[in-house]
Amino acid sequence: MSRIPESDYVQLNDGLTLHYQEAGMGDAVLFIHGSGPGASGYSNFKGNYPVFAEAGYRAIVPDLPGYGLSDKPDTEYTLDFFVDAMLGLLGKLSISKVTLVGNSLGGAIAIKMALDHPELVEKLILMAPGGLMPKEQYYQQMEGIQKMGAAFAAGELVEPANMKRLLGLQLFDESQITDDIVNERVAIVLEQPACVLSTMQVSVLTDRLSELQCPILGFWGMNDKFCPVSGVQTMMERCSNIRFNMLSECGHWVMVEHAKLFNRECVDFLKD
């Protein structure tokens, strides 16, 4: 079974060990992945971070705690828990300024980091970020969230066929879900404790969005089944210095489904 490639590890001050990929030299860009079962930084961003590195940036792609090859403690997976882990990673890597790239849960983590540590975050790149409505509303409104939670809780995602069906909900074009992607995720799911998703709590950040001070570039697929596209209007109304790309024939993974456009727009944004 395919596994994500093993790269570098760092132990944080609280004893938590994180795994991460790194490529390139220059200004730092931290890629923060989403919360899907079996997710990892590499799985989410393997078609993106090498392009950033080639463009002259230091691309850092961690596995969040509970995901990838990072530690998976039996604890509560709150937004602050993830934020503290990312801050700890940046500290260990001696990074004092960074651009954050986050999708879904990773977008919520990036927003919270920028709100709480504006001196650290130079720019934000967000793809269908979470944290814009209560958890219950996501489950009530979004087919992908409903099916993901039920399949993980039932232990169905250890079977590649079931994982492939779930991942197909992430994209408009399901044919882009390769066997390698499926197998990478199944290998991680086999090691994930139930608490990774069952205890996850993401604060609603909407009322604080006006506090964001850095430039923001956003992406959202019109066919997203996990985070409602109404989030675009929420962010555009409340944030300054922001622009969004809304894509037709696109699901939750803009950076996968439209990688060339995503990479080009992001590199141009970083160079502005």
Q: What is the pLDDT of residue 148?
A: 86
Q: How much is the pLDDT for 2?
A: 63
Q: Would you say 249 and 223 are in contact if contact means Cβ atoms under 8 Å apart?
A: yes
Q: What percent of the chain has pLDDT over 70?
A: 99
- Whether this model's pTM surpasses 0.75: yes
What would the pLDDT profile of 249-262 be if each residue is shown by its tens digit? 999 999 999 999 99
Residue 153, both tokens? 């809780």
Is 252 designated active site? Answer: yes
Would you state the pLDDT for residue 201? 93
Annotate 50-79 with b (16+ C-beta within 10 A) or e (fewer): bbbbebebbbbbbbbbbbbbbbbbeeebeb
pLDDT computed for residue 27 by the predictor: 98
Tens-place pLDDT, residues 194-246: 999 889 999 999 999 999 999 999 999 999 999 999 999 999 999 999 999 99
**What is d(CA 132, CA 228) in angstroms, rounded to the nearest whole number?**
10
Set 19, 33, 252, 258: catalytic member: 252
Instruction: Tell me the pLDDT tens digit for each residue of 92-126.
Output: 999 999 999 999 999 999 999 999 999 999 999 99
CA-CA-CA-CA dihedral for 99, 103, 105, 108, to nearest 10: 50
